[in-house]
Structure 1
């Protein structure tokens, strides 16, 4: 297959029609050997992380389909660590949308003078520019429109759907006695219809989950969800 893009945690290949194939890897983001979903570099390799991430992604994307939430998901092959998805165009050079239920990670590092660790944030939605060199800076709705990255209407859709998706994940985790602190999502436009849809993955590698205040690692999270 033709390689389109080599990413940190997955590679992208051209598939039949308007679809592409994502190959999940065992690499996860972090720094100094410590996992961090908000990091810009691959911090470590965890055997089985690719399949674990794909298994969770398949589970959640099928939940979203049941609720009519638009995504790029078509099918998944767990054994091969691959997922077939609809082709999409990203906003600008790529955006990350974070939904925060508690103050941790980069939010706490930036605004620690005004909040305490773990403070409730009521599903606060934050958009950042995917730019490793500039450390993924946050960007406002007005700036996104001004720079012609997305329209105000698209931003409103993005925010509404982000909260809907994040609350679905939060509720599924709560059923396992787990608490979602934050989750990082990516969106794009369907290459055929132009519809705003969820892309990339939904796994332990792009969320922070705790149980009674103790952090749950991505691999442990996958085991708990499918126990």
Structure 2
């Protein structure tokens, strides 16, 4: 295997057959030792966080597979904290797609003059550029098309997939009396078929989840969803 990408929370290796191996690390995004899924920096390292993130990712990707939703997922090895995936091409240098059900985080920081904290958003979808230096700026459908990152038709596909996948995750969490406030996805083009597919991970590090009025930390979320 060849190391192709050294990331904040995952390292990526390429197999000779063209597939990739993702190694989930125990590093988590945040600041000053406090977890924050919207942060661009590694803020803390928690033993077992990588395996917990992979366990949830495996759980959710297999739920999506049951529903016929295409992803890059092939299989996972929880003991090694690794996941094998199909090759996919990202849009530009990468996009993040957020589905928001409550007004919190960066959404509240931007629009707090017009909305109260925690106000319902009913699955609002926004796209940001993966660009740590510029703070992952939001980008519109027209701008994506103008920059050649995504056609307007592809944007609509991306948006619909985000809503559909977000609803699956939301419903699974509701079975455990948990509420999804927001979730961050990444998509790419399948290098074989050209279809837009879900890539990266679906873990507690990519979402805000609450039990009543209390936030649920990523490791606790894995225990609730997988072990109870």
Which band: TM-score by shorter chain? over 0.9
SS state at 1:126 partner: strand
SS state at 1:161 partner: helix
Query: CA offset at residue 213 of structure 1?
Result: 1.2
The equivalent of 1:29 in structure 2 is 29
Query: CA offset at residue 136 of structure 1?
Result: 0.2
The equivalent of 1:165 in structure 2 is 165
Q: Tell whether 2:83 aligns with 1:83.
A: yes
The equivalent of 1:222 in structure 2 is 222
The equivalent of 1:43 in structure 2 is 43
The equivalent of 1:5 in structure 2 is 5
Q: Unaligned 5+ residue runs, structure 2?
A: none
Query: CA offset at residue 16 of structure 1?
Result: 3.9
Q: Tell whether 2:212 aligns with 1:212.
A: yes
Q: Equivalents in 1 of 2:31, 2:194: separation in Å? A: 36
Query: CA offset at residue 23 of structure 1?
Result: 0.4
The equivalent of 2:60 in structure 1 is 60
The equivalent of 2:155 in structure 1 is 155
Q: Tell whether 2:67 aligns with 1:70.
A: no
Query: CA offset at residue 18 of structure 1?
Result: 2.5
The equivalent of 2:198 in structure 1 is 198
Q: Unaligned 5+ residue runs, structure 1?
A: none
How many residues are paired up?
Answer: 227
Q: Equivalents in 1 of 2:181, 2:117: separation in Å? A: 11
Q: Equivalents in 2 of 1:15, 1:193: separation in Å? A: 20
Query: CA offset at residue 153 of structure 1?
Result: 1.1
Query: CA offset at residue 66 of structure 1?
Result: 0.8
Q: Structure 2-normalised TM-score?
A: 0.98
Q: Equivalents in 1 of 2:83, 2:181: separation in Å? A: 26
Runs ≥4 residues deviating over 6 A: none
SS state at 2:138 partner: coil
Q: Equivalents in 1 of 2:161, 2:92: separation in Å? A: 19
Q: Equivalents in 2 of 1:85, 1:128: separation in Å? A: 23
The equivalent of 2:93 in structure 1 is 93
1:9-20 → structure 2 map (5 Å cutoff): 9-20=9-20
Q: Equivalents in 1 of 2:178, 2:126: separation in Å? A: 23
Residue deviations 1:4-45, cap 9 Å, x none? 000000000011423100000000111111111110010100
The equivalent of 2:109 in structure 1 is 109
Q: Equivalents in 1 of 2:163, 2:134: separation in Å? A: 26
